[in-house]
Amino acid sequence: MATEDRTDEAIDRLQRVLQGLGEQQIALDRRLTMLSKLALFDLVAVVLSISLLVIVLSLQAPDLRKAVATMNVHIATMSDDLYSIRGSMTRLTDDVGSLSEIIAQVDSIHGDVAQMREHVGTMTLRVTDMNSSLTQVSDQVGDMSLSFGVLDNILMRMMLDVNHMSKPMRFFNQMNPFR
């Protein structure tokens, strides 16, 4: 009977072990089910958030594209205007350069006309002052011409940068589901 008692006791222990394993398995299944539900909920929340962001972006993309296009037009107009101003400054520089020839002719007239010597002497002083002023103006016009050249280059670079920055928005416009 001792073997039967041991067998019964071993079977009871085995049943308790199996019952404990079953309870642990049930608890583990509950935890996994809860974690799966939480993970699914989190995934749905992330998908909804991303969808909302894509919708907002697609709604705002046309306005942004229009603003960038308008800015490109304004920058192009500004660049054209600066190019025109630069041409005018170049012509003005050329015109100021020809004033020295006029001064030389006035000096020639001074030697030829003895009766007007007194008046021409006064004129010579004034023309010399004008020449000095015109030299300063010519220098300043040259500086302005260089500045406009640099500004024109900067504006052209800005226009290229704006076009470069607007490329991603053109990609999003193609994905806009509301077009």
- The full DSSP string for 9-75 is HHHHHHHHHHHHHHHHHHHHHHHHHHHHHHHHHHHHHHHHHHHHHHHHHHHHHHHHHHHHHHHHHHH
CA–CA separation, 50 and 56 (whole Å): 10
Give the largest Cα separation in the chain, rounded: 162
**Sign of dihedral through CA atoms 84, 88, 89, 94?**
positive
- Write the CB contacts of 37 (distance below 8 Å, at least 6 apart in sequence): none
**Sign of dihedral through CA atoms 33, 39, 42, 47?**
negative
Q: Nearest CA to 162 among 74, 58, 71?
A: 71
Would you write out the chain's pLDDT as a tens digit for each of its 179 residues?
678 888 888 888 889 888 988 899 999 999 999 999 999 999 999 999 999 988 888 888 788 788 888 988 888 898 888 889 888 888 888 777 776 777 777 677 666 665 656 765 787 888 788 788 878 888 888 888 888 888 889 889 988 888 888 777 777 677 766 65
